Amino acid sequence: MVVFALSGILLAAQDYQDYNENEIGFVFSATKFRTTTEVGMGGRFVRNYTRNLGFEFHGGFYPSNDLVNFYQAIFNFRGTYRMEERHKVNFLGVFGPGFLIVDPKTGGGRSAHVAFNAGGGLEVVPYPNVAIRADVTDFVFFSEGDVSNNADFKLAVMYRW
């Protein structure tokens, strides 16, 4: 009886682990901030709570020019349509709040702007623990009564466990 109970608990724990995978990776990004496109880099951490639903944090740094740096942080909810077992590809949608920090290098103070991010992407899974992900989102930030829609392209290499 105890053996059956323990094996049931172990099978449930294995099933739980299959749905609770973590991902961490390096991100290359290109974001159009109003009139110029800036290239940046950063990192992403993903926690998948179920097979289809997860939460992620993305932090990015854009060393744009001699005048200003941009810092981006996004907290996304993620929905994933998984087809990786059969086709090695997943489709995903993301949305969530964030912020943008503008840091002038020539004096003046930093300014922080509330933001919102929404979009989708494609994830190719060549190996069970490796994913290559491309996202296209609309990164919207609010600045002094103005709303700025910005195309945001990201390419990430993710390690999954």
In the chain, DSSP assigns E strands to 22-33, 36-48, 53-62, 68-82, 89-104, 111-127, 130-143, 146-160
The reply to whether 45 falls in a domain is yes
The reply to whether 52 falls in a domain is yes
Q: What is the average pLDDT across 75-103?
A: 93
- Check residue 19 and give its pLDDT: 54
By residue range, what is the domain housing residue 152? Answer: 21-160
- Check residue 128 and give its pLDDT: 86
The reply to whether 71 falls in a domain is yes
Q: How many domains does the chain have?
A: 1
CATH classification at residue 72: 2.40.160.20
Q: What region, left, alpha or beta, does residue 5 occupy, with left being phi > 0 and alpha being psi -120 to 50 degrees?
A: alpha
The reply to whether 2 falls in a domain is no
- Check residue 144 and give its pLDDT: 84
**Radius of gyration in angstroms for the set of CA atoms belonging to the chain, rounded to a whole number:** 19
Q: Write down the pTM of the prediction.
A: 0.83
Cα gap 9→17, rounded to integer Å = 12
- Tell me the per-residue pLDDT of 12-53, one tens digit each, with 9 for 90 and over: 444 444 555 899 999 999 998 878 899 999 999 999 998 899
